[in-house]
Amino acid sequence: MMERYAHGYMQNTDVCLRTLNPMVSAMLQLQGNQHRHIVYNCDSYGFREGEIIHAKAERVAFGCSHTFGYELENHLTWPFLLNAANFGVSGCSPQTVARLVTAWIPLLPAKTVFIILPESARREIYNPQTETYTHIQNWNLKQLATLMYKDVIAGHLEENHWERIQLLFKEYPELDLFDDEKNQEIEQKCVVQIEEACREKELILLRQSDLPEFDFTSRDGSHNGDVWNRKVSQLFKRRIEA
């Protein structure tokens, strides 16, 4: 059951408010300026659009924030343009995509599965005590290592954070995001898992190297805008027609 959630049962993220009722959509409104008003409609699993749409969709989309459409209106996202249910999760890893594909595909009537595989230098870890998934990237390794080893090394955080990160890698080598060989090994395992789950579906999987150049024109300036999303939708369409 927990495998179906974007972030875990007790959700606490910037894209979905906490809700325990599976029939209630969570709404989070972000107002960056008076000219753009972004509304995220997320179901209790943490996915954009809602469970009713997912249950009927013949197409589904998986990926990270560039699939979710972070800081972008829903009708401008590439899953919407392809009439696909959006299972994008901001900040997620290939492990997240593999988990969600495995958990959801058997439950959906979807015939076509679109995937943008997140970059390989990311990980997902599950905390059974909080029933949440944490997405690990380079930028939050310092925070994680400091939390886990705050009493191991005396001194100032800025002086010792790399030593704590090295301790983290030593104890949990699978979290070493700087190990390119390990990154590729984990990514390949995820791809195999995805392909197995979608063996009876039409699977179109794109890697980061397959994508158009990022334009960073969403509201926050760190994600892609409507032009990029249109290019991606067209790329997927060409793959379908090929």
pTM reported for the whole predicted model? 0.85
List the one residue out of 48, 66, 65, 70 whose CA is nearest residue 57: 48
Report pLDDT digits (tens) over 111-148: 999 999 999 999 999 888 888 898 999 988 888 888 88
**C-alpha pair distances (Å), 28 with each of 12, 70, 133, 156, 189:** 12, 12, 20, 37, 34
Q: Please, what is the angle between helix 94-104 and helix 180-197, to 10°?
A: 10
Q: Rounded to whole angstroms, how far apart are CA atoms 27 and 25?
A: 6
Q: Rounded to whole angstroms, how far apart are CA atoms 132 and 155?
A: 31
Q: Binning pLDDT at 50, 70 and 90, where does residue 23 land?
A: very low
Q: Binning pLDDT at 50, 70 and 90, where does residue 173 land?
A: very high
**pLDDT score of 157 more than 90:** no
Q: Rounded to whole angstroms, how far apart are CA atoms 207 and 118?
A: 7
Report pLDDT digits (tens) over 74-97: 999 999 999 999 999 999 999 999
209-41-36 Cα angle (round to 5):
75
Per-residue model confidence (pLDDT) at position 176: 95
